[in-house]
Amino acid sequence: DAKTTQPPSMDCAEGRAANLPCNHSTISGNEYVYWYRQIHSQGPQYIIHGLKNNETNEMASLIITEDRKSSTLILPHATLRDTAVYYCIVLGGNTGKLIFGQGTTLQVKP
Amino acid sequence: SQTIHQWPATLVQPVGSPLSLECTVEGTSNPNLYWYRQAAGRGLQLLFYSVGIGQISSEVPQNLSASRPQDRQFILSSKKLLLSDSGFYLCAWRIPQGNTGELFFGEGSRLTVL
């Protein structure tokens, strides 16, 4: 499974867009990019995933570069409740093994 | 619909005592099952994963063990707990669908070893 690299922390003003980057330069052609977030003392929550096309759902947008070596999670209008640790992982097939990196701690400030 | 149950939610144990955390999944078959640990202020560390009954893969050498006696049951155990075993333990499941398959987490078990 490919490794991911994320900045350890980011700040965002409430109401503004939060753009969280992730590098996954060793991703293979059949691996998907998944994003999860973890609010303190809870289990991680699924946000979005994609293969090579940009994706959007009610929570966020996912922009994947054409070479698929990096992606950006966009929270269009961040709220205080979006303060959490955001994890980017890549996975594919039935290898079973899912490794989380250290994630990015997003602090949304009023 | 699928659900995942994990218990106990909190546990305080003395050093050297045994441990058993249990996780069950309902509403699905042949899931991949996972145990993660999160120490205070740290990220998620994969401990064990299983792609089938009796098939356990260990990621980190430690004094913990895992078992999968039934398709939808995953148990994390220790014979003698260490202080360093304290942490937040999360069970998760996933159905691989081609190259995808979202990972679903339980609510976690918070273990404090004194």
State the pLDDT at residue A6: 95
The answer on pLDDT for B100 being more than 70 is: no
State the pLDDT at residue A84: 96
CB neighbour burial string for B78-97, b if at least 16 within 10 angstroms, e if fewer: beebeeebbbbbbbbbbbbe
Inter-residue contact A6 to A103 (CB < 8 Å)? yes
DSSP A31: P
Nearest chain A residue (CA) to B106:
A43
Judged by CB atoms closer than 8 Å, whether chains meet at A100 and B46 is answered as yes
Q: Nearest CA to CA, how far is A70 from chain B (Å)?
A: 18
Judged by CB atoms closer than 8 Å, whether chains meet at B104 and A99 is answered as no
Say yes or no: A21 contacts chain B, CB-CB below 8 A. no
pLDDT of B38-70, one tens digit each?
888 778 888 999 989 999 998 887 789 999 999
State the pLDDT at residue A92: 65
pLDDT of A21-70, one tens digit each?
999 998 888 888 999 999 987 888 989 999 998 999 999 999 999 999 99
Judged by CB atoms closer than 8 Å, whether chains meet at B101 and A91 is answered as yes
State the pLDDT at residue B7: 93
